[in-house]
Amino acid sequence: MASPSHRRPVRKRRTALVLAVAAAAVGLLVSLVIALRPGGEADTVRTAAQATAGARPTAPPTTRKATPASKTSEAPEASKTSRAPKPAATTPSARPSPTATRPSAPRPASGTAPLAGRIKPGTTYKGVATHYDAKDGDGACLYGPSPDLMVAAMNHTDYETSQACGAYILVRAANGASVTVRITNECPLPCAPGQIDLSKEAFAKLAGLSAGRIPITWSLQSPDMSQTLSIRYKTGSSSHWCGIQALGHRNPLARLEVRTGSGWTRLTRTEYNYFLSPGGTGCGGPLRLTDIYGEQLTVDGIAIRPDTVQPARVQFTRR
């Protein structure tokens, strides 16, 4: 029989067993409490979760806030660009070909003249006719001498800063006689609106020169003609400054433009019937001529040769 020193009493073994079971139960209960509370995972679990989440970028707090629409529309530069697109005219396809002689767009219907000034087609004007010595046919329009003396000076108001230059006018007297003249000069004040100062040769077609002054009616014409228009550069013209004139156009000229790197530039018309480019812009380059009906003709290959009439080989349509 074993000695008492080598055998544990039964009571003591049962007490140790109970304590071991209780300790295990307490540990299990603590684990359950930690696992079930919010954010209560063990440090090792949280650390692993954070390490896994750190491998993927998280959205910053500001992305969870709704951005007002007004700020959104102002922020991107792309939005500003889309609200202000470049004009279509800056693209090469919008510019006419330098060799074109007619516009691609349909011409306005005959009789309509959107670019006409005071003198409009299809309108009959009343006034008086006087006469003057036209000599060689030259005048304020600076076309130069001409053997054709069926010319006239338009009153200052209807001359309209030389826009009447080159216009063909049918003049009728009360007796039924008529004559067609070309405007080459200006009749200064006190010539009244509607008044036309005819060359002596033209006035004689309507009445005797002794009549001096007769009532008339007159209207704009678009005559049948075989000649083409011409271009002339003014004295002193160069690549730094130039004056450009169109001669022999069938219909009144409304605009003259020069070709530049950014498109067409309209030149200012003077009272002496030249279009000026003070800084030399477009001098010697392609030209675009527009009549009062809106028809456009492009002229190329006209060099800067002052006081030289150069044929352009184009002409406006008869109306």
Query: Residue 12 — very low, low, confident or very high, per pLDDT cuts 50/70/90?
Result: very low
pLDDT at res. 162: 98
Q: In whole angstroms, give the CA distance from residue 104 to residue 121.
A: 24
Task: Tell me how far apart the alpha carbons of residues 172 and 222 are, in angstroms, rounded to a whole number.
Answer: 16
Quote the pTM value.
0.67
CB 111 within 8 A of CB 121: yes
The encoded tokens of residue 157 equal 């108001």
pLDDT recorded at residue 176: 97
Coil, helix or strand for 158?
helix
Residue 155 reports pLDDT greater than 80: yes
Q: Residue 252, exposed/middle/buried by CB under 10 A (0-12, 13-18, 19+)?
A: buried
Q: Which pair of structure tokens corresponds to residue 110? A: 């005959």
